[in-house]
């Protein structure tokens, strides 16, 4: 079928885009490449459409379908949207994306180059012609211009051939494969779509479920976006699938999205309202009780769909304080041990089954966690990880906020409520990095969790890179007990750099003791577990170092690196794009094992659900880069290069034009 006919079918409603399709994701490089291939008559691939009755079709956009049979584009959307935009000068009615990706494309009649409009390069140069203008108006105006100019008249036959090659792109035939038959349900068609698009971003099961709901309740996506925007302003960033998972468990008591297929739009809308209130309630509890009051420290977020179901069945809140604390105990424990770091659906289903009967449900949740873990006691070596991406970093953060931890420069308690958002707290390396590297300690040892202490910004700056044996005595003299409040061993020999590994071991032991005491308090007198008789109070320093060195690759090493990454995240938000996920865990879908920790990531793309996964990786080794690449992430190791990508490919800004202004 000729391209011009396909475009006419889009206008008439005989061809459209299915609701489950994502929006337009191409960048300008891809647009240029398509036009260059078509200009040179290189193959650009066939189209795949789903032929179905228009009265049964759910489709994107506000256009109307033609009566009878309609063809829904399964493969070829990006190509046809690009061609439609270039030929018509505007995007089709089903468009969802950045139209600047194909706006202002020009062609040079001399060099046969396609490029987007650059005023310094193209202004007053007649050899640069608008592709859209040629497609809409034909070659006549250009023939008249060049034939009247003696400078170009000799080359007129060549120019006419090249102009015709552009104009006649509309006459190119594209082969169309069709998926037909009444047996082709939307599930089958989506499976076909995913197979055909195996090289790109597949539709998730959540996308499919939401597409069906949106067909009945078009405002569903906007309503969910509004809820996520509210939480974003409060310091939390949740993706659409996560919110949908919570609604799913509240409404159906199941984790799998397929159970949403049978619900009515009204039931979904009611469940969404309840879910939003419950999440607010749980976030307030977790933030107020644990100090985990912003996105960077809210670990174990996939425990919330289970708690959302429990709270909803309780009528919107826990029965009493004891039940509330037991639920929070389970939340922290599931987060510490990474219960939902992989294979989330199966574990959520197990836990939903445990609370089907509310009475004793929380006890069954804790029992299931014990069966998985063996025991729920924090051991010293659990604090043996390194980097701000380690799972027990939020535990250190939590203990700082809920206990008696005090700032070393002011003596003020660092409890929740004293400082507002905890982003004002800075991670301080107790033993400065330069000192440790000078003494031949490795990266994992230097950035061990047990070498971190949270301080106010001014205190962090004041201490700077002084050695503990120098500044610890001053802190203890000015604010007695401030060191012990942050689990610093008071044996002064351990404050020396040559005893650093012994210092880590001793502090890990103190942290583990405090964590267990706090956990036991949440159980209101119930025992955690009996420790094995052979359990040692201290791990050998060599074992501690080995545990640290064996950690998952990736992660933020320092407060300075975190500040840089957070400044980039803020810059992205200022551009109207979503906040990235700090310390994003890449997990193996089959085993649930964490493969790497990415400094800053957008797993659903900078245009959520529309573009490829992106990550910013600062000072990372080849293992982390390889893991990101294998997972399909476009990654950047330089901030300026990342920002250029955002401006040019996502925002479609013209950098050369900006420089000229």
**Residue spans per domain, the chain:** 1-98+173-202, 104-170, 204-371, 380-549, 559-660
Looking at residue 573, the DSSP 8-state letter turns out to be H
Kindly state the helix (H) or strand (E) to which residue 233 belongs, with its residue range.
Answer: helix 220-233
Q: Looking at the predicted structure, is the pLDDT value of residue 385 above 80?
A: no
Mean pLDDT of 317-339: 94
CB 465 within 8 A of CB 459: no
pLDDT-based confidence at residue 543 (cuts at 50, 70, 90): very low
Predicted pLDDT at 661: 38
pTM of the shown model: 0.69
What integer best gives the mean pLDDT of the chain? 85
CB 541 within 8 A of CB 505: yes
Q: Is 643 exposed, middle or buried (CB count within 10 Å of its CB: 0-12, 13-18, 19+)?
A: middle
How much of the chain, in percent, has pLDDT values that exceed 70?
Answer: 87
Q: Looking at the predicted structure, is the pLDDT value of residue 372 above 80?
A: yes
pLDDT-based confidence at residue 573 (cuts at 50, 70, 90): confident
DSSP assignment of 178-216 equals EE--TT--HHHHHHHHHHHTTTSPPPPHHHHHHHHHHHH
Predicted pLDDT at 187: 62
The residue that leads in pLDDT, 514 or 442, is 514
Output the CA–CA distances (angstroms, integers) from residue 28 to 31, 38, 390, 614, in the order listed. 5, 15, 38, 17
Apex CA 332: angle with CA 431 and CA 615, to 5°? Answer: 65
Give the largest CA-CA distance in the chain. 99
70-84, 178-192, 247-261: which has the minimum mean pLDDT? 178-192
How much of the chain, in percent, has pLDDT values that exceed 90?
Answer: 47
- Residue environment code for 79-112, b if the CB has 16+ CB neighbours within 10 A, otherwise e: bbbbbbbbbeeebbbbbbbbeebbbbbbbbbeee
Output the CA–CA distances (angstroms, integers) from residue 135 to 105, 128, 138, 176, 499, in the order listed. 12, 14, 6, 23, 75
Q: Looking at the predicted structure, is the pLDDT value of residue 419 above 60?
A: no
71-85, 127-141, 339-353: which has the minimum mean pLDDT? 339-353
CB 321 within 8 A of CB 261: no
Looking at residue 647, the DSSP 8-state letter turns out to be I
Structure tokens at 447: 């950035």
Structure tokens at 538: 């201290």
Mean pLDDT of 614-643: 90
CA 160, CA 156: separation in Å to the nearest integer? 6
Q: Looking at the predicted structure, is the pLDDT value of residue 623 above 90?
A: no
Q: Looking at the predicted structure, is the pLDDT value of residue 539 above 80?
A: no
3-state helix, strand, coil in the chain (%, to 5): 50, 10, 35
Q: Looking at the predicted structure, is the pLDDT value of residue 657 above 60?
A: no
Compute CA 504 distance to the chain's CA centroid, rounded to the nearest angstrom: 33
Looking at residue 650, the DSSP 8-state letter turns out to be I
SS (H, E, C) 413-477: ECCCCCCCCHHHEEEEECCCHHHHHHCCCCHHHHCEHHHEEEEEHHHHHHHCCCCHHHHHHHHHH
Mean pLDDT of 11-25: 83
Tens of pLDDT, residues 595-612? 888 889 988 788 765 567
Q: Looking at the predicted structure, is the pLDDT value of residue 208 above 80?
A: no
Tens of pLDDT, residues 469-503? 999 999 999 999 999 999 999 999 999 999 999 99
SS (H, E, C) 105-159: EEEECCCCCEEECCHHHHCCCCCEEEHHHHHHHCCHHHHHHHHCCCCCHHHHHHH
CA 487, CA 511: separation in Å to the nearest integer? 6
Kindly state the helix (H) or strand (E) to which residue 50 belongs, with its residue range.
Answer: strand 47-53
The residue that leads in pLDDT, 447 or 390, is 447
The residue that leads in pLDDT, 366 or 570, is 366
Q: Looking at the predicted structure, is the pLDDT value of residue 191 above 70?
A: no
CB 212 within 8 A of CB 267: no
- Residue environment code for 560-573, b if the CB has 16+ CB neighbours within 10 A, otherwise e: ebbebbbebbeebe
């Amino acid at each position: 079928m000729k391209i011009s006919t396909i475009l006419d079918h889009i206008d008439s409603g005989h061809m459209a885009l299915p609701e489950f399709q994502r929006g337009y994701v191409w960048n300008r490089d891809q647009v240029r490449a398509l036009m260059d291939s078509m200009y040179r008559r290189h193959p650009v691939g066939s189209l795949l459409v789903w032929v179905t009755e228009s009265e049964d079709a759910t489709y994107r956009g506000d256009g109307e379908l033609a009566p009878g049979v309609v063809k829904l584009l399964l493969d070829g959307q990006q190509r046809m949207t690009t061609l439609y935009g270039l030929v018509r000068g505007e995007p089709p009615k089903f468009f969802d994306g950045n139209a600047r990706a194909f706006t202002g494309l020009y062609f040079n009649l001399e060099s046969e180059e396609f490029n987007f409009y650059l005023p310094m390069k193209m202004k007053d140069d007649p050899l640069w012609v608008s592709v859209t203008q040629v497609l809409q108006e034909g070659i006549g105006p250009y023939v008249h211009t060049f034939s009247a100019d003696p400078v170009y008249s000799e080359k007129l036959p060549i120019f006419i051939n090249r102009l015709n090659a552009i104009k006649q792109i509309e006459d190119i035939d594209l082969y169309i494969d069709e998926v037909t038959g009444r047996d082709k349900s939307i599930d089958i068609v989506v499976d076909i779509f995913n197979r055909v698009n195996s090289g790109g971003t597949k539709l998730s099961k959540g996308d499919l479920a939401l597409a069906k709901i949106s067909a009945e309740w078009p405002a569903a996506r906007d309503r969910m976006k509004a809820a996520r925007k509210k939480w974003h302003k409060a310091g939390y960033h949740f993706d659409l699938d996560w919110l949908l998972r919570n609604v799913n468990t509240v409404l159906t008591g199941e984790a799998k999205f397929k159970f949403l297929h049978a619900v009515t739009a009204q039931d979904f809308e009611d469940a969404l309202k309840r879910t939003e209130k419950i999440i607010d309630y749980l976030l307030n509890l977790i933030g107020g009780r644990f100090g985990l009051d912003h996105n960077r420290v809210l670990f174990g977020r996939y425990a919330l769909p289970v708690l959302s179901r429990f709270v909803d069945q309780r009528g919107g809140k826990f029965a009493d304080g004891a039940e509330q604390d037991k639920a929070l105990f389970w939340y922290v424990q599931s987060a510490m041990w990474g219960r939902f770091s992989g294979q989330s659906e199966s574990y959520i289903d197990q836990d939903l089954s445990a609370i089907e009967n509310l009475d004793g449900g929380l006890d069954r949740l804790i029992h299931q966690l014990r069966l998985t873990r063996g025991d729920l006691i924090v051991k010293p070596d659990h604090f043996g990880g390194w980097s701000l991406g380690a799972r027990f970093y939020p535990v250190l953060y939590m203990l700082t906020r809920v206990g008696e931890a005090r700032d070393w420069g002011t003596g003020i308690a660092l409890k929740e409520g004293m400082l507002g958002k905890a982003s004002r707290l800075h991670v301080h390396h107790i033993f400065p990095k330069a000192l440790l590297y000078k003494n031949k300690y490795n990266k994992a040892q230097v950035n061990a969790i047990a070498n971190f202490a949270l301080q106010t910004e001014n205190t962090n700056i004041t201490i700077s890179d002084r050695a503990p044996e120098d500044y610890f005595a001053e802190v203890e003299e000015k604010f007695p007990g401030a060191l012990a409040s942050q689990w610093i061993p008071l044996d002064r020999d351990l404050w020396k750099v040559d005893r650093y590994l012994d210092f880590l071991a001793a502090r890990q032991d103190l942290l583990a003791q405090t964590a267990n005491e706090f956990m036991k308090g949440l159980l209101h007198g119930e025992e955690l577990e009996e420790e094995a008789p052979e359990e040692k109070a201290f791990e050998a320093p060599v074992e501690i170092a080995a545990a640290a060195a064996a950690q998952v690759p990736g992660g933020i090493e320092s407060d300075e690196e975190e500040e840089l990454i957070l400044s980039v995240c803020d810059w992205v938000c200022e551009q109207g794009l979503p906040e990235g996920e700090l310390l994003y865990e890449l997990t193996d879908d089959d085993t649930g094992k964490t493969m790497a920790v990415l400094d800053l990531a957008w797993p659903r793309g900078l245009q959520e659900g529309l573009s490829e996964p992106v990550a910013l990786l600062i000072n990372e080794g080849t293992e982390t880069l390889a893991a990101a690449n294998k997972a399909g992430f476009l990654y950047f190791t330089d901030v300026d290069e990342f920002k250029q990508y955002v401006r040019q490919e996502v925002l479609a800004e013209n950098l050369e034009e900006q420089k000229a202004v």
